[in-house]
Amino acid sequence: MRLLFTVLFAITWLTGARAATKPNIVYILADDLGYGDVQCLNPQRGKIKTPHLDRLAGQGMIFTDAHSGSSVCTPTRYGLLTGRYAWRTRLQRGVLDGTEDPPLIAAGRLTVPAFLKQHGYTTAALGKWHLGFTSTPPAGAAKPDTAKTGKKKMGEAGLPVGSRIIGGPVTRGFDYFWGCSNARTMSGLIENDRVIESIAPISVLPRLGQRAVSYLAEHAADAKAGQPFFLYLPLTSPHTPILPTPEWQGKSGLGAYGDFVMQTDAVVGDVLAALEKHGLAENTLVIFTADNGCSPQAGTGKLEKLGHFASAEFRGYKSDIWDGGHRVPFFVRWPAKVKAGAQNAQLICHADLMATCAEILGAKLPDTAAPDSMSILPALLGTDKTPLREAVVHHSIHGVFAIRQNQWKLELGPGSGGWSGGGGGASPQLYDMSKDSGETNNVASSNPEVVARLTKLLDQYVAAGRSTPGAKQTNDVTVNIFKAKK
């Protein structure tokens, strides 16, 4: 009997120990922050001070070749939360409008928060959703006229207080949501499935930072007792409307955008300070990144005249298929596991989050889940000896696609594929990124075998419904991403 009791006690203790070592996960996603907007990534041509992000980068690992799946908002967020490229859905160009869009994530698709809930996590999303939902108006009110809504100023087209959200974050794996649909509608503050308040757009970022800090305080005790949390924090900045609060105005010397980046950096600092204050930092995996490159609406031409290059040495900006559109800052801090001051040049993508979580937890994902996700845990632990990914696929706002493998990047269209223009150039475009990170020398004509090989690989990814090993998947719609190459 004593032996049985000893064995049961040991099993219980070991199970509890494993539960207690599951890391909390904080995923911070800046909105339209360029690779070169972070000082430590662009020390020669970056003029905006970002002390908190620089400190975070120094305390963990910097990935220097990290990418979003797209150069605009919605598809990137889809890939991040599902481990699946958004072009496998109905959205192969552009973004959702944000007012009355059916959810882009299908009800039956496994998401990162839903997966983590299966493994004992509490999950929350605080910030910008931009993945679609519909709504019903408050009692006695008419449904908003979307034609008129679209004409309102950026940030002021929020739904009326009392509106009910249908198909939003709390139906896609999150226990709790506090935030807005997108930048245009941020004045309608949503909690779970209700619009609870109409707020001034300038107050959204500070309110969001305060809510994140309070969330960490609310869940600290449970986290230390073995109930880990996943906090997804998709910030609304420095996306337009570019509205730094008065205390930040003039701080950068570069205008409103520089000030807003500095305020964004300070919000990240507040979140990191809260983790320290509540004794959570050691066993919390913090990831900081951005959804795509800096938007030209930040006044990039003027910034460059002042010596600040938001895309660093890379060509293009948000919306473009060039790297300035989708190469993003990516920092990972996990003091219990990740060596401080590390850098990694592996090619990675936002879609890699779900596979990474699965490997951390020692769990197997269902065959139907995360078909484009690869774990970056070997890179975090310093055990990666071979490439983590075979390739990464990107697309621009206008639906021009690219595939990157090792040093080669093939773009299936002329010009930027986005707002930077240049559509009259040669197609396809092929660049050797190891020699030409600025994508200025198109070598497609002299490397036809590389063009053919990468085109074939893209064809395989489409046909298989996945880009990772496993059973064939079905795309949501008929996918034809190669029109531009003809």
Least confident of 201-215, 391-405, 467-481: 467-481
Q: What is the pLDDT of residue 97?
A: 84
Q: What is the CATH number that goes with domain 392-485?
A: 3.30.1120.10
Across the range 39-52, mean pLDDT stands at: 98
Helix (H) or strand (E) holding 251: none
Query: Taking Cα atoms as reference points, which of 138, 118, 133, 155 lies closest to residue 357?
Result: 118
Length of the chain: 486
Distance CA(297)–CA(317), nearest Å, equals: 10
Residue 85 has pLDDT above 50, yes or no: yes
Pairing label, strands 330-333, 61-67: antiparallel
pLDDT tens-digit profile of 321-380?
Answer: 999 999 999 999 999 999 999 999 999 999 999 999 999 999 999 999 999 999 999 999
- Using DSSP's 3-state secondary structure scheme, residue 220 falls into helix
Distance CA(372)–CA(75), nearest Å, equals: 13
Least confident of 287-301, 418-432, 446-460: 418-432
Q: Domain ranges in the chain?
A: 23-381, 392-485
Q: In the predicted model, what is the mean pLDDT of the chain? A: 93
Tokens representing 246 are 């008065």
Distance CA(37)–CA(43), nearest Å, equals: 10
Residue 484 has pLDDT above 50, yes or no: no
pLDDT tens-digit profile of 244-290?
Answer: 999 999 999 999 999 999 999 999 999 999 999 999 999 999 999 99
- Using DSSP's 3-state secondary structure scheme, residue 171 falls into helix
Query: Taking Cα atoms as reference points, which of 30, 48, 80 lies closest to residue 318?
Result: 30
Distance CA(169)–CA(117), nearest Å, equals: 14
pLDDT tens-digit profile of 379-408?
Answer: 999 999 999 999 999 999 999 999 999 999
CATH classification of 23-381, choosing from 1.10.3720.10, 3.40.50.720, 3.40.720.10, 3.40.640.10? 3.40.720.10
If pLDDT is split at 50, 70 and 90, which confidence band does 21 have?
Answer: confident
Distance CA(186)–CA(208), nearest Å, equals: 11
DSSP 8-state secondary structure symbol assigned to residue 327: B
Identity of residue 130 = H
- Inter-residue long-range contacts of 44-47, CB under 8 Å, 24+ positions, other chains counted: 45/307, 45/308, 45/309, 45/312, 45/313, 46/308, 46/309, 46/312, 47/252, 47/253, 47/254, 47/258, 47/306, 47/307, 47/308
Q: What is the pLDDT of residue 155?
A: 84
Q: What is the pLDDT of residue 151?
A: 64
Distance CA(97)–CA(73), nearest Å, equals: 11
Tokens representing 432 are 């050797």
